[in-house]
Amino acid sequence: MNLHIIALFKFNENYLMEAVELFQNLVKETRKEEGCLQYDLIEDKDNKGTFFLIELWESVEHHNRHNGQDHLLDFRRDASRMMESTTEVYKGFKIY
C-alpha cells in the first residue's frame, strides 16, 4: 500500500536561500531512491520560510529505508540550525 506524507518545515527568514539549496539537494537525491513515487517541495504562498514536502512512497518499507539515507541525515543536520520550529510530519494511506 502506498504511503502518503506531508512534512511541514518553518525556516528562519534569514536562511531562506540556504534552506532552498539544502532542499534542492534533498529532493534531487531522494527522487532517485527505489520506491519514491513523488517528492515535491512546495513553498507556502503566504508565509515566508514555510515549506512542505509532499511525498508518495511505494510502501512503508521504502520510506523506512529513506530515513537512513545519507542525504536525508545530512539535510536534517544542516537544516536544524536554520529552523524556527521542529518539523511536523503527517503520514497516511489513501482511503478514497
For residue 56 the three cell numbers come to 508518495
User: What is the Cα–Cα distance from 24 to 39, expressed in whole angstroms?
Assistant: 11
The share of the chain scoring above pLDDT 70, in percent, equals 100
Q: What mean pLDDT is predicted for residues 20-40?
A: 98
Sign of the CA dihedral 13, 82, 84, 38?
A: positive
User: What is the Cα–Cα distance from 73 to 96, expressed in whole angstroms?
Assistant: 33
- Mean residue pLDDT of the chain comes to 97
pTM of the model: 0.94
> Bridge-partner residues for 43, per DSSP?
51
pLDDT of residue 39: 98
pLDDT of residue 15: 96
The single-letter DSSP state of residue 86 is P
Reported as a single tens digit per residue, the pLDDT across 38-65 is: 999 999 999 999 999 999 999 999 999 9
Reported as a single tens digit per residue, the pLDDT across 4-17 is: 999 999 999 999 99
pLDDT of residue 37: 98
Q: How confident is the model at residue 68 (pLDDT cuts 50, 70, 90)?
A: very high
Helix and strand tally (H, E) in the chain? Answer: 3, 4
